[in-house]
Amino acid sequence: MASGVTNVAFAPPPDQTWTRVSPLLARMRRTVVIALGIPVVAGVAVGLSFAWDTAGPIVGIIGALVLVWAWFAIGRNFRSWRYVERADDMVVTHGAMFKKLTVVPYGRMQLVDVKAGPIARSFGLVSVKLHTAAATTDAEVRGLTPDHAGALRDRLTALGEAHAAGL
Amino acid sequence: MPPASDQKTGDSAPALADETFRLHPLTPIALGGRVLGILIVITALGFAERGASGGASPNWIQVAIFGGLALLLVVRGIITVAVTSYHLLGGELRIDSGLLQKQSKRIRLDRVQSVDVLEPLSARIFGLAEVKVTTAGSERAAVRLRYLALPVAQSLRADLLGRSTGAGEGAVEAPERPLITVPHGRLVGSVLLQMVSWRLLLLALGPALTVIGQQNGHKATTGIGIAIFVWFAVLIAHAIWQRVNSLWEFTVTDSPDGLRVRHGLLSTTRQTVPPGKVQAILIHQPMSWRPFGWVQVRMNVAGYGRADSSKRTTLIPVTDRAFAESLVGWMLGGVDLHDIPLTRPPRRAALRAPLWWRAEWAGADDRVFVGRHGLLSRTIDVVPHQRTQSLRLSAGPWERALGLASVHLDSTPGPVRTRAAHRDAAEARQMLDRQIDRARTARQIGTPQSAQAPRVS
């Protein structure tokens, strides 16, 4: 019954649609998993086959299954990264297994962080994180293109100034 | 005479005059504190060694090393005092420091979240005090003015708070009205009862081992048993002493420039939290206090952080439930916590949180959100809508399987973490949406402070 039931809680706000992030996010993660996963699985399989003949194929099959699962899990997780900018706040959601949805009122934003690690940068991806005075605020949008992220940051900063409410 | 004292705010000075002041000259000694004391004792022992080694000269090496270190410590302190100066410029506090690398720090006083006057034992001996100014942000954002003569520190506190609340220069301490002083007996009793926990089992481990050792004639086991017992007894005694020492004479008063909290036996602390700077409050009842009906009240204040949370975030260490509830209600502008309709998770949440699901209450009126949780220990969390930061919805795999979700209200770091756990998913989303509206309305209107304070219990 259930996971469908829970989805109503994570539906887009009424009369709004989610903005999705760039599919490059999934491609980046898949590339990383494949690039690291295949050599590791192959190495372990070959190494173990010296000790025990049948270990090689068994490890190989299990490893391949895990990688296939990871391929689909990444897709599922990628589709879960969504956000919508509303009049007074921004709603951010992500997570397939552990679902999370955060609402950050513009007036509560302390700063907007734009970040990109070396791998993300090589794929042309940036993440935008919203900070409030609460440490528990969990509002991050990953997988934005630099143009998108820059525009989003500028919009948020302007909205933050317009709505600013003291602590 | 401390040169700082003649810089004290003149009562006749015009509003928001600029002032400059410096640290007290005894600061280097008070800053050295325990370390300096130990160094001096070792140096003195070096001189005294004459007798022990049969009329030889003092142990010059020992004297030179430890005396030198003590001197270095003091000289460093003297330089700090000499190069540090504080300036009150209108609505700003500026601190200039540094000998070679000059530093200048500015704090906007309207951003101040609390002002504390601390008297650690090593400073109290010399009649000195520290003024700690906390602004929103991390714990590192706090500015510590160490040390000033106590009267200077107090007038500076009044001045800072006066400027921060926009009431102008409050050189004269604002009049205060006592709300509560925790009786000594009750404080000690509550601290002792809080020690009643699983830790006592470790204490029992010692005698148990001793008995086993005795019966089997195994001396090592007996010895270990005694050692464990003594070790844990010392640890527990130390914990009790620390709490009693820190919470002694706990007094809360109300004044125009904020809520004042005073406590401490050997080292004392005076905190002042300006009106409206308390972000969230909780009333907590440890299991062992339930027969007595005692509770404690703690608060979130931006900038207090979690590092020294239990010390600075305590509003009342122990009191009656009724008084705590009326005080909290008053602080939130006349809210009656009993009037707020609370709901519980659906019955199927028992599969996610067996037994405890029954204790997960949550609800809101037009001013505050209230959450209750805990079966054995009980907690009531209260957050005014006006102070909520962000709102969150979460659902783990187990919750999703049951069609449940939890709502969280984010506040500044501190002991209060408000939530409505394991709700029906649709209901959770409804709560979230309503909470968004309430918070927005509250931010636009602002909540008025109420007039009538509760009576002292």
B148-202 pLDDT tens trace: 999 999 989 988 888 887 665 555 666 888 999 999 999 999 999 988 777 777 7
Q: Compute the average pLDDT of residues A132-157.
A: 92
B401's CB contacts (< 8 A; 6+ apart) are A2, A3
Residue of B108, B301, B386, B390 best to disrupt the A interface, most CBs of A under 10 A: B390
ipTM of the complex: 0.89
**pLDDT tens, position by position, A32-78:** 999 999 999 999 988 888 888 888 888 889 999 999 999 999 999 99
Instruction: Report the residue of chain B nearest A103, measured CA to CA.
Output: B391
Taking CB atoms and an 8 Å limit, are B395 and A99 in contact across chains? yes
B280 touching A, CB under 8 A? no
**Structure confidence by residue, pLDDT tens digits, B286-339:** 999 999 999 999 999 888 866 555 678 999 999 999 999 999 999 988 889 999
What pLDDT is recorded for position B150? 93
SS3 B119: strand
Asked if B409 reaches chain A (Cβ–Cβ under 8 Å), the answer is no
The token duo for B340 is 């707020």
Claim: this prediction has a pTM higher than 0.90: no
Comparing C-alpha atoms, which of B442, B428, B177 is closest to residue B335?
A: B442
| CA quadruple B447, B450, B455, B457: dihedral, nearest 10 | 0
From residue B60, give the alpha-carbon distance in Å to each of B41, B45, B52, B70, B74: 14, 11, 14, 15, 20
Secondary structure of B162-203 as H, E, C letters: HHHCCCCCCCCCCCCEEEEECCHHHHHHHHHHHHCCCHHHHH
Q: Which of A102, A110, A112, A108 is nearest to A149 (CA)?
A: A112
B434 touches chain A (CB under 8 A): no
User: Which residues of A fall within a CB distance of 8 Å from B396?
Assistant: 97-98
d(CA A136, CA B44): 53
Calculate how close chain B gets to A2, using CA atoms only, in Å: 5
Q: Structure tokens of A150?
A: 């820059």
Q: What is the mean pLDDT of the segment spanning B131-153?
A: 82
Name the 3-class secondary structure at B29: helix
Among B304, B369, B392, B429, the strongest candidate for a mutation testing the A interface, having the largest count of A CBs within 10 A, is B392
CA distance B50 to B285: 60
Residue count (chain B): 457
User: Is A135 within 8 Å of chain B by CB?
Assistant: yes
Q: How confident is the model at residue B19 (pLDDT cuts 50, 70, 90)?
A: confident
Identify the three-state secondary structure at position B304.
Answer: coil
Interface touch B279/A107, C-beta < 8 Å: no
Nearest to B24 by CA among B84, B73, B71: B84
Helical (H) or strand (E) element with B253? strand B251-255
Mean pLDDT of B230-247: 90
- Cα B94 from Cα B124, distance rounded (Å): 26
Query: Are B347 and B316 contacting, i.e. CB atoms less than 8 angstroms apart?
Result: no
Q: What's the rounded mean pLDDT across residues A122-144?
A: 91
| Mutation for testing the B interface, residue in A76, A103, A109, A137 having most B CBs under 10 Å | A103
Q: Which residues of A touch B432 (CB under 8 A)?
A: 9, 101, 103
Show residues of chain B in contact with A8, CB under 8 Å: 425-426, 429
The DSSP output letter for B343 is: B
Distance separating alpha carbons of residues B121 and B384, to the nearest angstrom? 38
Instruction: Answer yes or no: do B400 and A107 touch at CB < 8 A.
Output: no
What pLDDT is attached to residue B44? Answer: 85
Cα(A16)–Cα(A93) distance, integer angstroms:
14
For residue B387, pLDDT beyond 70: yes
Cβ atoms B81, B22 nearer than 8 A:
yes
3 state SS of B18: coil
Chain A contact present for B395, CB below 8 A: yes
Which has the higher per-residue pLDDT, B253 or A4? Answer: B253
What phi and psi values does residue B449 have, to the nearest 5 degrees?
Answer: -80, 140
Q: Is B136 on the interface with A (CB under 8 A)?
A: yes
**Integer-rounded Cα radius of gyration of chain B:** 27
Tens digits of residue pLDDT in B436-455: 999 999 988 764 444 445 54
Q: Which residues pair with B298 in a beta bridge?
A: B282, B314
Predicted local distance difference test score (pLDDT) of residue B247: 94
CB A9 within 8 A of CB B395: yes
Percentage of chain B exceeding pLDDT 90:
47
Q: For chain A, give the DSSP string.
A: -HHHHHHGGGSPPTT--PEEPPTHHHHHHHHHHHHHHHHHHHHHHHHHHHH-TTHHHHHHHHHHHHHHHHHHHHHHHHHH-EEEE-SSEEEEEE-SSSEEEEEEEGGG--EEEEE--HHHHHTT-EEEEEE-S-TT--EEEEEE-HHHHHHHHHHHHHHHHHH----
User: Shortest CA distance to B440 belongs to which of B390, B383, B379?
Assistant: B390
Cβ proximity of B136 and B112 under 8 Å? no
Say how many residues make up chain A: 167
Measured CA to CA, the distance from residue B437 to residue B391 in angstroms comes to 11
Does A108 lie at the interface with B, CB-CB under 8 angstroms?
yes
Averaged pLDDT for residues B100-110: 84
- % of chain B at pLDDT higher than 70: 87
B57/B51 Cα distance (integer angstroms): 9
Q: Provide the token pair at A74.
A: 């990444």
Alpha helices in B60-198 (DSSP H): 60-83, 121-124, 150-164, 184-195
Q: Judge: B402–A136 Cβ closer than 8 Å, yes or no.
A: no
Residue A158 CA to residue A163 CA, distance in Å, equals 9
Say whether pLDDT at B54 is over 70: no
